[in-house]
Structure 1
Amino acid sequence: MVGSKDLKPSTRSFASIFYYNQFKAEPNWPSPNEDLSGKTAIVTGGNTGLGFEAASQLLDLRLSYLILGCRSLERGELAASKLRKQHPAARIEVWLLDMISYDSVQAFARRVDTELQRIDYVLLNAGLILMNLTKAPGTGHEQGLQVNYLSTMLLALLLLPTLKAKGPPRAPGQEPAHLTIVSAALTLAAKFPNRDANPLLPSFNDPKTFDAQEHYHSNKLLAHMFLWNLVDYVSADDVVVNLADPAWCKGTGLSRDASAPLRAGAKVFGALTGRTQRVGASCFVDALVNKGKESHGCFLMSWQIHPFASLLYTPEGHVLIQRVWDETLAELDFAGVRKILESMKS
């Protein structure tokens, strides 16, 4: 199989990539005959925006059991009640998941392992952009780094053994469980200004160098670097792991923490160039349902396998990939992630 890291880096400008994404790319909708009856899916951050829309689209395909992982049970239940009205035959539950907290992430993963008999799809959608540096209680990390990268990678790692053990029954033509992590095309434009910091991850917490936009680009890029090595431990026959970009979408609320002028600007920009949430969320459903083992370890953009950011293919990028891998495993050592990775190879 040819994955993203086996491709040649793109030579197109980000402007041309953005234009194609927003105005030229054609959605790849599931087949009208696609039937997810009997299957179970988890969507984190599924109470609003693209997560909610992706959950709705999975239910439209007759998904039997949906779990929304939400920081607020109250807001999660409001979202679930809407979905239950539209899909009364489906079982829809809201489970507590606060991506700011390692304890909450671990508790959620344990619940998945102990309470679910089967798991087919996981969409790790929870994410945020903060305009000001705010640190996560308990870890001291900048919250964007915590939510978009560290906690997301921890949850992915913790869920892998469960997905392998409780995925779809192994049979000819049967796909394994899928785990899709929400990414962003903006990773291709990341400047990664703190790349020379040593150690690297703590440098994201420095208020002197904090740049909201660049930190978002870079902490999303970290997931690309981590996935580069992760596929050496996880077989596509056990779990398909990929990254999916929804492109720029209007009305998602991702910039809700921004100042009023910035929010207004984002709203106008979205109105002029943004995809609808329905089209944006279809990228996630495509990664989960349409794509098969060929997408393992890949960055999916505009419903196609795309190269990672050009930096990753350079000698400097290879050094950074290894540093990110080593520092991330050291950060998450408390959860036994190295043993998990070794177990996935057996």
Structure 2
Amino acid sequence: MATSKDLPPLDVPFFPNVFFKNQFRTKPQRPPKTTDLSGKVAIITGANTGLGYEAGRQMLELKLSHLILAVRSNAKGEAAAAKLRAKYPTATIEVMLLDMSQYSSIQDFARRVDSQLQRIDMVILNAGIFQFKYETVPSTGHEQHVQINYLSTVFLATLLLPILKHKSPPGIPGRLTIVHAALSLVAPLPILKGHKTLLGAMDDPKNFVGDKQYNTSKVLAEMFAYKLVDYVSADDVIVNLVCPGYVKGTDLSRDVHILLKPLGILFGAIFARNVTDGASTYLDAAFVKGKESHGSFLMSWKVTPYNSFMYTPEGKAAADMLWQETMSELEFAGVSGILESMKKH
């Protein structure tokens, strides 16, 4: 089966057509009934509520042996874990602190995973942010969508790659799934707008446009995945991106202005997918799909093309530029060396 890189660009000029097909004309797919996750270990970030929590619950239903909820709040994490422990008493359900706005917290988390876990099979990077107001992260100065949805996410992914490679069972690749969004398909190609870097342009408050920033932050992750497959073999770790669709019952829009929330609730009641179906896309990406999904974008439970500009010379040049900017931003942790090491077998 072809990867996203190998597919032709999506030829749908009107995005609502994509939305309608994804939400209403696609039958949800569950893992095969024979699926047994006994003995396996999974990590889900942002897993105390919404899609992350439901994905964990569904994995436990399939006899997952060890689930790590990676969360910002220990109290909220333990409350979620307590509910799961009551229903699945034979599983090990653990809470680990992780603040995606702090590079130091991400590094500490990766070190704990490496030192405390003897085995790790799959990671779902579900934590993200969506808001309409411009804010920066004090510790880095980056705009919040850029920081959390892109830089912090790819930083954590990179730190976990060698751990997954070495702590998954012999002959079986580790799995790393990054939660993505179909809205990335309509985001414009990031442009410099007088800045020397793409990240600098996106950090500029003059360029900030509400929901457009969320969409473009997702495209950045897509551009990173496009380059990542040059360094990471599907024999070691299968990395993919997944869109759960528009789902009601999540906390992604918790920071939306109070006056807009009733509209969101009404829109969700009419158009949204339920959280059970939304979370099943995570499971599909994390352990049902195979090596054909490496570096690919999954939507509607199948491999889907990237944003159309990724198939143009301009898009590929932008991906190269973003890659270099990202390596420079994260060089304090030696990310380029980590990725080079993943090339060695």
Please say whether Structure 1 and Structure 2 have the same fold, judged by a TM-score greater than 0.5: yes
Equivalents in 1 of 2:114, 2:145: separation in Å? Answer: 27
Aligned partner of 2:22 in structure 1 is: 21
Distance 1:319 1:192 in 2: 11
Alignment of 1:48-59 (within 5 A): 48-59=49-60
Superposition TM-score, scaled by structure 2 size: 0.97
Q: Where does 1:1-346 land on structure 2 (aligned, <5 Å)?
A: 2-12=2-12, 13-170=14-171, 175-192=172-189, 194-196=191-193, 197-346=195-344
Distance in 2 (CA, whole Å) between partners of 1:202 and 1:93 is 38
CA distance in structure 2 between the partners assigned to 1:47 and 1:294 by the alignment: 30
2:48 touches 2:71 (CA, 8 Å); kept in 1? yes
Q: Distance in 1 between matches of 2:249 and 2:92?
A: 28
The 8 Å contact of residues 192 and 214 in structure 1, kept in 2 or not, is answered as: no
Q: Is the 8 A contact 1:8 1:307 kept in 2?
A: yes
Number of residue-to-residue matches in the alignment: 342
Instruction: Give SS of 1:208's match.
Output: helix
Secondary structure of the residue aligned to 1:268 is helix
1-structure distance, mates of 2:21, 2:105: 39
- Taking the aligned partners of 1:261 and 1:59, their CA distance within structure 2 comes to 37
Alpha-carbon distance, 1:333 to partner: 0.6
> SS where residue 63 of structure 2 aligns?
coil
State the 1:193 CA deviation. Answer: 5.7
C-alpha contact 1:299 1:307 (8 A) present in aligned 2: yes
**Contact 2:51–2:250 at 8 Å: present in 1 too?**
yes
Q: Is the 8 A contact 1:195 1:320 kept in 2?
A: no
Identity %: 54
What is the CA deviation profile of residues 128-155 of structure 1, one whole-angstrom value per residue up to 9, with x for unaligned ones?
1122111112100111111101000000
- Residue ranges of structure 2 left out of the alignment (5+ in a row): none
Shift of 1:218: 0.2
Tell me if the contact between 2:189 and 2:315 (Cα under 8 Å) persists in the aligned partners: no
Q: CA deviation at 1:195?
A: 4.9
Q: Please report how far the alpha carbon of residue 2 of structure 1 lies from its aligned counterpart in structure 2 after TM superposition.
A: 2.4
Partners of 2:57 and 2:124 in 1: how far apart? 13
Cα separation, partners in 2 of 1:265 and 1:192, compared to 1, 3 Å:
farther
1:260 Cα shift?
1.9
Cα RMSD of the aligned pairs, angstroms, is: 1.1
1:30 Cα shift? 0.7
**Any idea what SS the aligned residue of 1:180 has?**
strand
Task: State how far apart, in whole Å, the 2-side matches of 1:318 and 1:193 are.
Answer: 12
CA distance 1:193–1:157, shift in 2 (3 Å)? closer
Q: Measure the CA separation in 1 of the matches of 2:283 and 2:202.
A: 31
Per-residue deviation, residues 87-112 of structure 1 (Å, max 9, x unmatched) = 11100010000000000000000111
Aligned-pair distance for 1:211? 1.2
- Distance in 2, Cα, partners of 1:256 & 1:241: 28
Deviations, residues 206-225 of structure 1 (Å, cap 9, x unaligned): 22221120100000100110
The whole-number CA distance in structure 1 between the counterparts of 2:80 and 2:120 is: 21
Task: Give the CA deviation at 1:253.
Answer: 2.1
CA distance in 2, matches of 1:291, 1:48: 25
Q: Secondary structure at the match of 2:252?
A: coil
